[in-house]
């Protein structure tokens, strides 16, 4: 099997806005076997996954919940994709 190109950056499409972004910059949500939808910070949880980009409009709960339901076929857990802002000025 050939080695990957060192400059290769995997991309994924946002479930809300449908634009492509680097995979590492996106939030992954996973539907587990029991039907629950949870945040996957490691990117390695088993189950059906979808990605949400960093755009604040895509993180809006009403808009993103509909896209997640369409992509995964299940409702997300409350607070599953909320952003923690740590770079606020002191």
- The residue count of the chain comes to 90
Give the span between the Cα atoms of 83 and 86, in whole angstroms: 9
pLDDT for 70: 94
Render pLDDT for 15-41 as a digit per residue (tens, 0 to 9): 999 999 999 999 999 999 999 998 999
Name the average pLDDT for the chain: 85
Give the span between the Cα atoms of 44 and 40, in whole angstroms: 7
Render pLDDT for 59-77 as a digit per residue (tens, 0 to 9): 898 888 899 999 999 887 6
Can you give the pTM of this predicted structure? 0.80
Token pair 């409350």: residue: 78
- CATH homologous superfamily of 11-72 equals YlxR-like (3.30.1230.10)
pLDDT grade for 6, boundaries at 50, 70 and 90: confident
């Amino acid at each position: 099997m050939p080695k990957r190109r060192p400059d290769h950056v995997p991309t994924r499409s946002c479930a809300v806005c449908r634009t492509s972004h680097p995979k590492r910059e996106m939030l992954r949500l996973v539907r587990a076997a029991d039907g629950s939808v949870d945040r996957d910070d490691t990117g390695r949880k088993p189950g059906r996954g979808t990605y949400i980009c960093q755009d604040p409009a895509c993180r809006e709960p009403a808009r993103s919940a509909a896209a997640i339901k369409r992509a995964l076929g299940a409702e997300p857990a409350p607070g599953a994709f909320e952003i923690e802002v740590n770079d606020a000025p002191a």
